[in-house]
């Protein structure tokens, strides 16, 4: 290893001080081994929640390590529209003064590209007497919202949307909702969170039952904001009416962002990289398990508690990967990682089978279709099914593809990572979406030695 392992070369959280340029095309090609130490940005799920909860809490919430990506900026804009004061004090350090009585925004609230932002805000403000219209970008306005609007209607919210249940949607609540006992058809933290947050404005106990456990950040953070919450197996309950109280939130590093330099190091010969400060919450680490089963050399160390979550550093070395069958019940703990897992699978020996991932069809893009086309245009064989795909790996992929990223940050980063182990340059049409979740992606990857550039 050429560089010392004492200080990270690049901290992926430095976003506002180093704004992402408004570029479009970007390329990646194979080159030297990746080496060094990096830190990925703050967790997106926890960052959204810290802003939303803080904006509705009594008192002043302080946040450190906030992800300053475009999605979070949309959520900050949304909560300001309801009259919360949200102010930046330093890099990643924010202060949120909650509004005890959110006002109805006079104009539509634009949640940009963020499904988490819009769904959680719709649920959270339903606990108050407000009327609000929500909209978003081309990707967000094509995503399904009935999964949130239908349970909110059952709680007493009046909600309208397009005929096929998409944005723009308008909700009106009188702030006195009925509690709900809801059996969710899918493991979705967005659905669970929206209903529980609305439940804070209901008189009585609201319970969400899930088929599998989805990420548990809402449960953990509601406790930190003074709410008593009951978890019983796959059922989570809150009893309202209940008020959030301001808290201090320290946001740990995002395992979903760490996945990109991690897979990059695994597939680039000679690589030896440390990624610091990665949240190890078991509802989020399915990818690390899967990569380990594929033969990845991942050494986790320096375990510590930070902001109520376990975090660790991970040393990743280039590894000869082999295909595996990913257990469908693991999907909720790695739901955002399938595109980059597909890239690792394309560079593994044998077939990797992924099933039970129909939800990927309604993410920022149809991620099964987008991932399949990302791989195919770079010469990788993929068999696509309604709820999954099978990828046939090879040592080095042909590459040479131009990937249309369909407004999807994770498709963009996955394509560029694939380029690091391709015979011909891989390009993408729009790198600007990467700022959604990983504003310093290029700087982090370049610091490790990746031949990647935006133009």
How far apart, in whole angstroms, are the C-alpha atoms of residue 334 and residue 284? 6
Q: How far is the CB of 41 from ligand S3P (least distance, A)?
A: 14
The position carrying tokens 């990109």 is: 260
φ, ψ dihedrals at 77, nearest 5°: -60, -40
Nearer to ligand S3P, 36 or 117 (CB): 117
Q: Which is nearer to ligand S3P, 194 or 262 (CB)?
A: 194
What is the closest distance, in whole angstroms, from the C-beta atom of residue 336 to ligand S3P in the complex? 5
Q: Cβ of residue 214: shortest distance to ligand S3P, in angstroms?
A: 6
Nearer to ligand S3P, 145 or 404 (CB): 145
Q: Are 327 and 246 in contact (CB under 8 A)?
A: no
Active site residue: 43, 216, 336, 408, which one? 336
For the CB of residue 188, give the shortest distance to ligand S3P in the complex, in Å. 3
Q: Where are the beta strands (DSSP E) in 57-211?
A: 60-64, 85-90, 93-97, 109-110, 131-135, 158-160, 169-172, 181-183, 204-209
What tokens were used for 330? 């693991």
Identify each DSSP E strand in 327-445 by its residue range: 351-354, 381-385, 388-392, 397-399, 402-403, 422-424, 426-428
Q: Which two tokens stand for residue 332?
A: 């909720």
Binding residues for ligand S3P, rule: CB under 6 A, are 45, 116, 188-190, 193, 215, 335-336, 359
Q: Which is nearer to ligand S3P, 45 or 352 (CB)?
A: 45
- For the CA atoms of 374, 278, 439, 25, the dihedral, rounded to the nearest 10 degrees, stands at -20
In whole angstroms, the minimum distance from the beta carbon of 259 to ligand S3P comes to 12
**Smaller CB distance to ligand S3P: residue 15 or 120?**
120
336 is catalytic: yes
As measured in angstroms, the least distance from the Cβ of 229 to ligand S3P is 16
Q: How far apart are CA 352 and CA 360, in angstroms?
A: 17
3-state DSSP helix/strand/coil percent for the chain, to nearest 5? 30, 30, 40
Phi-psi region of 92 (alpha: psi -120 to 50; beta: other; left: phi over 0): left
Give the chain's radius of gyration (CA, Å). Answer: 21
Per DSSP, helices labelled H in 155-243 are 189-199, 217-224
Q: Which is nearer to ligand S3P, 143 or 250 (CB)?
A: 143
Tell me which residues are annotated as active site. Answer: 336
């Amino acid at each position: 290893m050429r560089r010392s392992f004492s200080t990270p070369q690049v901290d992926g959280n430095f976003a506002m001080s180093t704004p992402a340029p408004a570029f479009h095309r970007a390329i990646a090609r194979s080159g030297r081994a990746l080496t060094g130490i990096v830190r990925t940005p703050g967790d997106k799920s926890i960052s959204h929640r810290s802003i939303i909860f803080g904006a509705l809490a009594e008192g002043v919430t302080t946040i450190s390590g906030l992800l300053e990506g475009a999605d979070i900026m949309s959520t900050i804009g949304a909560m300001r529209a309801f009259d919360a004061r949200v102010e930046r004090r330093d890099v990643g350090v924010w202060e949120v003064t909650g509004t005890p009585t959110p006002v109805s925004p006079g104009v539509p609230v634009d949640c940009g590209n963020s499904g988490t932002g819009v769904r959680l805000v719709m649920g959270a403000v339903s606990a108050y007497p407000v009327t609000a219209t929500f909209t978003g970008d081309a990707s967000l306005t094509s995503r399904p919202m009935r999964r949130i609007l239908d349970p909110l209607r059952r709680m007493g919210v009046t909600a309208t949307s397009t005929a096929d249940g998409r944005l723009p949607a308008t909700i009106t609540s009188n702030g006195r909702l009925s509690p709900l006992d809801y059996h969710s058809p899918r493991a979705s933290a967005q659905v669970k969170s929206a209903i529980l947050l609305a439940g804070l404005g209901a008189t009585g106990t609201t319970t969400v039952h899930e088929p599998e456990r989805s990420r548990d950040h809402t449960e953990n953070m509601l406790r930190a904001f003074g709410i008593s919450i009951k978890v019983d197996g796959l059922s989570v309950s809150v009893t309202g009416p209940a008020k959030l109280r301001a808290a201090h939130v320290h946001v740990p590093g995002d395992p979903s962002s760490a996945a990109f330099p991690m897979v990059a190091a695994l597939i680039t010969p000679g690589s030896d990289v440390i990624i610091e400060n990665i949240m190890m919450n078991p509802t989020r680490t399915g990818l690390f398990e899967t990569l380990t089963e594929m033969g990845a050399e991942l050494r986790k160390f320096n375990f510590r508690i930070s902001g109520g979550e376990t975090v660790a550093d991970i040393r990743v070395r280039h590894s000869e990967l082999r295909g595996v069958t990913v257990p469908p019940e693991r999907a909720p703990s790695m739901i955002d990682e399938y595109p980059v897992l597909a890239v690792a699978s394309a560079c593994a020996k044998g077939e990797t089978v992924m099933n039970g991932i129909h939800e990927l069809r309604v993410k920022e893009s149809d991620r099964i279709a987008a991932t399949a086309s990302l791989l195919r245009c770079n010469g990788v064989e993929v068999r696509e099914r309604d709820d999954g795909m099978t990828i046939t790996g090879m040592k080095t992929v042909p590459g040479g593809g131009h990937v249309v990223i369909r407004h999807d940050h994770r498709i963009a980063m996955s394509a560029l990572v694939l380029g690091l182990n391709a015979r011909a340059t891989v390009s993408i049409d729009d790198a600007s979406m990467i700022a959604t979740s990983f504003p310093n992606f290029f700087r982090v990857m370049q610091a490790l030695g990746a031949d990647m550039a935006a133009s």
